Structure 1
Amino acid sequence: MKPNSILFGMTLAVAANLAVSAERAPVIEVTAGTPIKAAKLSLSEQLVSLERKLDARNRAQVNVQRQLDELQNEVNELRGITELHTYQLSQVLDRQRELYQELDRRVSEALKPTNQIPATIIAPNGNAGKVNYSNNLTENEAYDHAVNMVLKDKRYEQAIPEFEAFNQRYPNSTYAANAHYWLGQLLFNKGELTKAGQEFEVVVSNYPDSSKRSDAMLKLAMVEQKENNETKAIAIYKKLIAQYPNSSAAKLAQPRLNSIKP
């Protein structure tokens, strides 16, 4: 009986161990599986959050770059306007010196016994170049009257028909190129770009030896640029720089050309 008792006891012990093992297995599987699943969900959420942050940062960088580009364009435009105004002021001062010289010339001629007026006079800066003036006093007076309306009286609106009338009455005047340029400038300032472009085109096409031709080319290109004809504007800017590389107009044309080149 003793061996049977021992065998019976061993059987009970084995059964008890199997029961304990059977009961523990589910507990281990559940407790071990739960943190792995939670960890997987947390990693996915972190990736999504990281992608959102990267996308937001990229958009912010794009916006900042666009703003910087806009500010740079505005600075370039203001710089061009400043240079243009400086150039225009120098042109006005030069023209005023010419007018004062013309006044002195007329006073001197009036004191002479004859009424003959020389065809040319030396420029006030003493350079070898000469400024042509007409022998027709009526023509001189008409031109001076139109110019004085701009320089002295500041009556820009009223000066437009004066230059138009001068160009119609004296189409072959020695002042013709200047008169067309002044008229184009007045129309440009007024915003009548098409008419202004026509006047500048007259100077460029019909007066190749005029001192105003390079200025007229600059203004003609600016007209085309303002009217969104960038191809024409680029061509005129390049032509201006090639033909008058050392001129003030070319220096003003270069930054404008750079701003619209692809």
Structure 2
Amino acid sequence: MKKIIFCFLLLLGCATRQDLIGLEQHIVNLHERVSRLEKTHVKDLEKRVKKLETTIKTLNAISSRQVDLLVQIDSLQTALNELNGKVEETTYQLEILKENLNKDIENLNNQIKDLQKRINDQISRLEKIEKRLKIIEREKQIKRGKTEKQLYQEGLAYARKGKLKEAIKVFNQFLKLYPKSNLAGNAQFWLGECYYSQKKYEEAILAYQRVIKNYPKSPKLPPALFKQAKAFLKLGDKETARILFEQLIRKYPKAEEAKWAKNELIKLASPELSTQ
């Protein structure tokens, strides 16, 4: 070791001043280089630290949002549980309501059946009473000396004299007592005529319709169909009247009323004639 130091001193002694200056400059350069390296390294470390700090902040923010999200999810789960509870309660209440409603419906159906039975019994009883009253009225008419034909003639006489209210009353009485009489269709037709004369065209139409429906073999059917069409004309229903006139001509072409119906159709086809 001593030999090495000695040699070093010997070398120093031999070194020129210029070498010393170069060495000193080299040392300075080394110091500057080390300093620059240190600065560069420090800056790099600072950047990495800042980056780490930013990353940590980001992670903290994400963590905070995750916490908030977990809180919200927990809150939603609680609300969902409450809602499920309400749904179950509502479903239970609806089942009870449905059961009670079914019981009420069953009770009402039983009451309706019972009421229908009582109504049917009352109707049956009233029908029996009505039949008995018809028999009694018929017996009264016989006792008064009025036969079926006499009662019809009485109504016809009232109608011809213009005593329409009395005629309507008698014809209704006749139809009530003798609904299956050979003169029933005639009586029904004259009822329509009385209403027509009173300008009660709706009632007249219904009366003529009963002739058409209930007494299809009555000789009064063609005139009933014609007068029904005329009643519709009076009410301003030309289309229905036209259909009825055509029906009359088609079904009863040889009837006198068919000729009249053809004339009416001519009038309907010509506005000038239809206003006359």
TM (norm. structure 1) is: 0.45
TM (norm. structure 2) is: 0.43
**Larger relative contact order, structure 1 or 2 (CA cutoff 8 Å, min sep 6):** 1
